[in-house]
């Protein structure tokens, strides 16, 4: 029977509201209890405040699943696209390395593991990240967005496995407990559709703060290109600039309890949906890069590009896919 894989990941990023720490812990525990595996992509500053708050319980619970990296400061300006966009390629790569290495190392040290994956903060995708990610040994780019994609399926780009644009919007709304039944019905239908088509990978993603707050922490503090007032902190995990944050609004105790009860119901349904949950650590082994050492003939290249007329796109050859740049390089050779 064709296998359907499900990757569930959480952008663990809210370093403003301590209630989001409790949310991350509760979510990790719920996944463990349901036997549904998950990946937590952690922001560098989030890791540091967890250490400063003494939340070893949260750190241990997330590390028991799988941990990725989700940028150093997330929405603090300048974000990745803001500082990379005006620079030539080598300078953009060097600046990303300089601004992001501390965050990556802090996540690795605090969680005592090598982060297995990376995904951009918000819409801050930038190609300058890739050379540094490969230096670090990160093997996958797990996120969502329209910047690169390949027929709605996992693909390799610049040496990393990607899940950008793989389709299927199957999540329930954490702030609407009544959305669980509809989400599970969509999930079961999608699993059967994918199984009938030969199997494959689908993904669902959340943010722990969607349980803990009624609005996103960064929308409150970093919207419209502005940072809150900044100050120097020299008495925490790492001396650094911090901001005078405005806390996001939080739900009542009854609303929060209903959200967690809905999470438990949702995970129980996921566990019996027919999809096998996997972490980002497993994905490169499940989807190895079989085309990296492939050879392509001139006839194959001519056949694959014969219908190009006024536009250039990726091409599919018998031994694998090529980007437009790879096609140009192969043609030149």
Averaged pLDDT of the chain: 94
* Nearest partner of 284 among 167, 141, 113, 164, judged by Cα: 141
The pairing of beta strand 67-69 with beta strand 240-243: unpaired
Segment 15-37 mean pLDDT: 98
Q: Are 225 and 76 in contact (CB under 8 A)?
A: no
Whether 60 has a pLDDT exceeding 90, the answer reads yes
Tokens of 192: 């059967």
273: DSSP letter: S
> Model-level pTM greater than 0.85?
yes
What per-residue confidence (pLDDT) applies to 1?
Answer: 59
Alpha carbons within 13 A on the beta-carbon side of 274: 19
Distance (Å, whole) CA 201 – CA 187: 12
The CATH number fitting domain 4-289, selected from 3.40.190.10, 3.20.20.370, 3.40.47.10, 3.40.50.720:
3.20.20.370
What per-residue confidence (pLDDT) applies to 306?
Answer: 86
pLDDT level of residue 144 (50, 70, 90 thresholds): very high
What per-residue confidence (pLDDT) applies to 155?
Answer: 92
**Domain residue limits, the chain:** 4-289, 291-333
Q: How many residues does the chain have?
A: 333
pLDDT level of residue 113 (50, 70, 90 thresholds): very high
What per-residue confidence (pLDDT) applies to 304?
Answer: 86
What per-residue confidence (pLDDT) applies to 108?
Answer: 98
Segment 53-70 mean pLDDT: 98
* Nearest partner of 22 among 192, 324, 263, 230, judged by Cα: 263
pLDDT tens digits, one per residue of 82-104? 999 999 999 999 999 999 999 99
């Amino acid at each position: 029977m064709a296998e359907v894989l499900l990757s569930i990941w959480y952008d663990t990023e809210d370093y403003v509201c301590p209630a989001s720490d409790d949310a991350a812990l509760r979510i990790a525990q719920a996944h463990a209890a349901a036997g549904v595996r998950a990946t937590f992509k952690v922001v560098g500053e989030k890791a540091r405040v967890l250490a400063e708050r003494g939340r070893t319980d949260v750190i241990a619970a997330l590390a028991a699943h799988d941990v990725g990296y989700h940028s150093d400061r997330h929405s603090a300006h300048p974000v990745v696209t803001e500082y990379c966009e005006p620079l030539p390629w080598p300078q953009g790569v060097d600046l990303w390395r300089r601004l992001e290495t501390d965050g990556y190392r802090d996540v690795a040290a605090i969680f005592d593991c090598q982060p297995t994956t990376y995904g951009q903060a918000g819409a801050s995708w930038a190609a300058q990240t890739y050379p540094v990610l490969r230096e670090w040994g990160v093997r996958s780019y797990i996120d969502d967005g329209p910047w690169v994609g390949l027929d709605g399926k996992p693909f390799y780009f610049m040496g990393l496995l990607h899940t950008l644009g793989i389709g299927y919007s199957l999540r329930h709304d954490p702030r609407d407990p009544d959305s669980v039944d509809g989400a599970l019905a969509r999930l079961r239908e999608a699993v059967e559709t994918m199984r009938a088509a030969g199997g494959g990978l689908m993904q669902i993603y959340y943010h722990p703060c969607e349980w803990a707050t009624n609005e996103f922490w960064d929308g409150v503090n970093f919207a419209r290109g502005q940072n809150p007032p900044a100050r120097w902190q020299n008495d925490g995990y790492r001396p650094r600039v911090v901001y005078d944050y405005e806390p996001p609004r939080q739900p009542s105790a009854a609303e929060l309890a209903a959200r967690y009860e809905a999470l438990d119901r949702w995970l129980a349904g996921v566990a019996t949906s027919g999809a096998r949950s996997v972490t980002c650590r497993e994905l490169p082994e499940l989807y190895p890069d079989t085309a990296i050492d492939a050879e392509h003939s001139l006839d194959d290249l001519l056949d694959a590009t014969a219908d190009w007329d006024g536009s250039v796109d990726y091409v599919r050859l018998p031994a694998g896919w090529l980007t437009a740049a790879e096609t140009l390089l192969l043609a030149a050779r």
